[in-house]
Structure 1
Amino acid sequence: MRIHVLADSDTRWKWGGELAQRLHPYPELHAHMLNGRSTPTARQMAEVGIRTASISHSSVAEFVTDPELAHADVLIVGSVGGTTQAVLHGLARAFGDAPRRPTVVTGYVGVVYENLTDGLLLRAGADVVLANSPFDARRFREIYRGLGIGEHCVVQTALPFLADHVYDPARTGATHPFTVTFAVQPSVPEDREGRLYVLRRAIQHARLRPGREVLIKLRSKPGEQTTHIEAYHYETLAEQLDEPLPPNLHFVYGNMGEVLDRTDLMVTVSSTAALESMHRGIPTAILSDLGVREPHGNHYFTGSGCVVSWNEIDEDALPYARTGWLEEQGILARDPYAQLRDRVVGLVNAPALPPIQPYYTMQNAPGYLPKLLARRGLDPGGEPLPHAAAAGRGRHGLLTRASRKALRRAYRFGVQNVAPRIQRWGGL
């Protein structure tokens, strides 16, 4: 099966790539990375560790005119809602009434705790919109039904990176110290004060419990970007502290699954890593220290039984998620991808697919759609705008691509090397 994955960050590439492997045991996998602030670096791509037949970089306008898409069986779109809607419009124009086109699949990388209606409508028009749990499936179908959108596109599944590993508490002993992992999020908490507070509490826990190993699991190196902007990197903040770090506290990178293999207690504010941890049966703490609030996303876990504070963690709290809550979130489902595989195989083998029909049109959203598409280089009909089309053609296109590549290198150097030094020097 020829599966193409479009992604705009390392997290969404991981989601799309692993989803492709759930659809077919040996997919011919082609990666398309969107140029932008969070385009994955080579290190981030290597960390995800998914093999591909090809990797390309492009804008939305260049992607939707890529002739290789005509040979794809499935296209997985892993991007923010506005970009997904633009891609759907571009594909609708590119394929029109053509009998042969790829089956378009999209969804969410983690828990959906904000902008539910907005995000769903921007994804409407795909052949398959994935819901990661029974809870999400009900919500998605209710919204689509209320607006006259065919709810048959909603397919219940699970997050593709929930690994089939079971936590063994007996493994902790003389050769394996009890390990507490704090899973970092780039933008939760967002402010410097909140991030310093969480960092200092992790340091304090390491000092209180010298027999434990405390890991701070980081998503990206200082200056690298992921799905969300990280203004105050924890390693940079730690360098600004006056006190030395305890010897049993470490900053770690790498694949989350490998870190979970050595974890006995997962701590986070609201990271999707909590679901991975709960799926394995690892005690998981959702921090309440900065409030249980919608902007933090930890309100999503209120029924789990895992919302605790650092004070309780210091006092040996080991919260296990409630079975009923896990079932409602689809975390305990057996073979949650069977329905998805059947649906996709049926669509791929269909004699013809209907034209792609995004929800937003010039009829129902004339004050919204043109700007949304223009920001991605498309006109209201899904056609690449002249400047975007020229970027991919001829000598001018080669120069433009070379310029963009040089600018991306300069930008990355700035955010990865200059910005962290400025933060350290200025105590920002």
Structure 2
Amino acid sequence: MSSELRVVAIADADSFVKWSAALLDAVPGIRRHMLLVRTPLTVSREQENMALAGTIIGDGAVTRVGFDEVAGWLQGHLPDVVVLAGRGHFVRLIARVIDRLKQRPVVVSGLPGMSIPALRGTLEYRRESDLLVLHSHREIRAYEALGDRLGIAVPMALATLPYARRASQVVTASRMRAGAADAVGAADAQGGGVAVVERERRGTDLVFAAQALVPAERDERETLVDILRRAAAARPNRRVVVKLRSRPGEAETHLERDAYTELLANRPANLMISYEPMALALSRAEGLVTVSSTAAVEAIARGVPVIALDTFGVRKPLLNTVFAGSGLLGDAGDVVARRFRHPDADWMHDNYFHPASESDWWDRVQELVMLRRGGVLPAKTVPAGRGGTLHAAWHRKSVLGSEDRSFTGQVALGIGAPLVQGILGMRRARGRAGEDTWADATTDYTLEPRPQKDPVRR
């Protein structure tokens, strides 16, 4: 294209800020901006610094706004492309704002990490996007199958997951935005190459990538903590680092119960809690342990070996079926003995480590921009929800929380919350067994709501 495209990511929660910033950071020749909308999930200043560490998005390219300011900001800046980076309800709420703009941008949405199994809500809330960005051939197959099952057609494109960066592309930054001088990733112009290169220098930390949603039960999280304690005791001269996404009082994309800060209140000296960027933690890692965190992809790309913990099984509710056949699965004994491993080569191509040349998302975006400028790309507007004004008020209140001070929002929330819980309960009861459910091991998607309690409203 003859001129730089103006691209803005609109986000709130930490994982989506990190993902969208890294996604845009890898695209050359664009004018990029980050618009942070105030919701109960919006990143703190420190989380923002962590999320943007290693990218070229600086303070001057980040604007914080209230929801009611979004339309005016977009109208004043007229971006060519908007990347909607948030949970499904957030995406749909912002999409309704875009529907009212006189000059409509191309609307792109996507997911901030590994997304197997494909979820019904993920697709339904993004069905009005001009393009859905996914990060592996397996994910595209799963979401296409889900779309066929639901009768939803959303154009999809492949991008290299921003954290899947070669070890040879890791460069030394003068100073990370979070404040520490260490190694950070730099993706190539196509979103990062994916060949795995062994690092010359190996660290000594066992890094555990904690997750809010899995394992979900307190006794399982206590079991995990016990495994980490045993690993620390087995090698008292080496650190076990529990890498957390947020400090106490900060919000995350998903709601955490039974926090590790509580479960690890009394711990040995070499069992540490860390809030540093994952890239920094991995620079000192001997290996990474996780149940199903996208940090596993980040570690693999840097040549850091991994254990995908299978102590609680390998099943959809644990979000770890993606690791079946990877060669990464291991049990508690493997963690204690630090028997880390590298992934199977055949698994890699289908799961996040395809060649950069196969990533077509930005080419597709540019084509869509040309079509929109030519007046031949029709707008995909969000239809009015059942329930009319009351439904719209509930939707806004559920996303914005205390940022929405309207009387109608408060009334709608009181009426709508029990109804939503009832609908979700009926869907769970209907689909407790059988095909297309969380229990169905034959598919990479599910029609059921999440089994974990992860409310939109905080």
Q: TM-score, normalised by structure 1?
A: 0.76
d(CA) in 1 for partners of 2:249, 2:319: 24
One-letter identity of the residue aligned with 2:379: I
One-letter identity of the residue aligned with 2:396: G
d(CA) in 1 for partners of 2:390, 2:208: 40
Residue of structure 2 aligned with 1:171, choices 201, 213, 217: 201
Tell me, yes or no, if structure 1 residue 129 matches structure 2 residue 132: yes
Structure 1 equivalent of residue 366 of structure 2 = 345
**Cα distance, 1:70 vs structure 2:** 5.5
Structure 2 segments unaligned to the other structure (5+ residues): 168-195, 398-403, 410-458
Residue of structure 1 aligned with 2:256, choices 191, 207, 230: 230
Alignment of 1:43-54 (within 5 A): 43-48=46-51, 49=53, 50-51=57-58, 52-54=60-62
Structure 2 equivalent of residue 161 of structure 1 = 163
Task: Summarize the Cα distance change of 1:200–1:167 in structure 2 as closer, same or farther, 3 Å threshold.
Answer: farther
Residue of structure 2 aligned with 1:21, choices 22, 25, 33: 25
Instruction: Provide Cα deviations, 1:172-219, integer angstroms capped at 9, x if missing partner.
Output: 3xxx5x221111112322333322221221121111123433211111
Larger radius of gyration: 1
Task: Summarize the Cα distance change of 1:230–1:26 in structure 2 as closer, same or farther, 3 Å threshold.
Answer: farther
**Cα distance, 1:137 vs structure 2:** 1.4
Identity across aligned pairs (percent)?
27
Runs of 4+ in 1 over 6 A off after TM superposition: none
Structure 2 equivalent of residue 280 of structure 1 = 302
Tell me, yes or no, if structure 1 residue 37 matches structure 2 residue 40: yes
One-letter identity of the residue aligned with 1:8: D
Task: Summarize the Cα distance change of 1:387–1:62 in structure 2 as closer, same or farther, 3 Å threshold.
Answer: farther
Structure 2 equivalent of residue 181 of structure 1 = 207
Residue of structure 2 aligned with 1:210, choices 217, 236, 239: 236
One-letter identity of the residue aligned with 1:322: D
Residue of structure 1 aligned with 2:224, choices 170, 194, 198: 198
Confirm or deny: 8 A CA contact 1:133 1:331 kept in the other structure: yes
Residue of structure 1 aligned with 2:88, choices 77, 81, 87: 81
Structure 1 segments unaligned to the other structure (5+ residues): 379-384, 391-428
RMSD: 2.9
> Any idea what SS the aligned residue of 2:312 has?
coil
Tell me, yes or no, if structure 1 residue 91 matches structure 2 residue 84: no
Task: Summarize the Cα distance change of 1:114–1:36 in structure 2 as closer, same or farther, 3 Å threshold.
Answer: farther
Tell me, yes or no, if structure 1 residue 366 matches structure 2 residue 382: no
Structure 2 equivalent of residue 381 of structure 1 = none
**Cα distance, 1:292 vs structure 2:** 2.5
**Cα distance, 1:149 vs structure 2:** 4.6
Instruction: Provide Cα deviations, 1:89-148, integer angstroms capped at 9, x if missing partner.
Output: 3322x13xx5x4211110111122346232112111211111211111122233435555
The structure carrying a bigger helix percent of its residues is 1
**Cα distance, 1:371 vs structure 2:** 6.2
d(CA) in 2 for partners of 1:169, 1:87: 42
Task: Summarize the Cα distance change of 1:38–1:386 in structure 2 as closer, same or farther, 3 Å threshold.
Answer: closer
> Any idea what SS the aligned residue of 2:322 has?
helix
One-letter identity of the residue aligned with 2:66: S
Tell me, yes or no, if structure 1 residue 354 matches structure 2 residue 362: no
Confirm or deny: 8 A CA contact 1:215 1:250 kept in the other structure: yes
One-letter identity of the residue aligned with 1:63: V
**Cα distance, 1:354 vs structure 2:** 2.9
> Any idea what SS the aligned residue of 1:377 has?
helix
Count of matched residue positions in the alignment of Structure 1 and Structure 2: 364
Which deviates more, 9-18 or 203-212?
Answer: 203-212
Structure 1 equivalent of residue 12 of structure 2 = 8
Task: Summarize the Cα distance change of 1:353–1:266 in structure 2 as closer, same or farther, 3 Å threshold.
Answer: farther
Alignment of 1:46-65 (within 5 A): 46-48=49-51, 49=53, 50-51=57-58, 52-59=60-67, 62-64=69-71
**Cα distance, 1:387 vs structure 2:** 4.3
Task: Summarize the Cα distance change of 1:146–1:202 in structure 2 as closer, same or farther, 3 Å threshold.
Answer: closer
Structure 2 equivalent of residue 141 of structure 1 = 144
Which deviates more, 186-195 or 216-225?
Answer: 186-195
Task: Summarize the Cα distance change of 1:324–1:118 in structure 2 as closer, same or farther, 3 Å threshold.
Answer: same
d(CA) in 2 for partners of 1:277, 1:83: 30
Which deviates more, 120-129 or 79-88?
Answer: 79-88
**Cα distance, 1:228 vs structure 2:** 0.9
> Any idea what SS the aligned residue of 1:5 has?
strand
d(CA) in 2 for partners of 1:327, 1:16: 23
Tell me, yes or no, if structure 1 residue 119 matches structure 2 residue 122: yes
Alignment of 1:260-275 (within 5 A): 260-275=282-297
Q: TM-score, normalised by structure 2?
A: 0.72
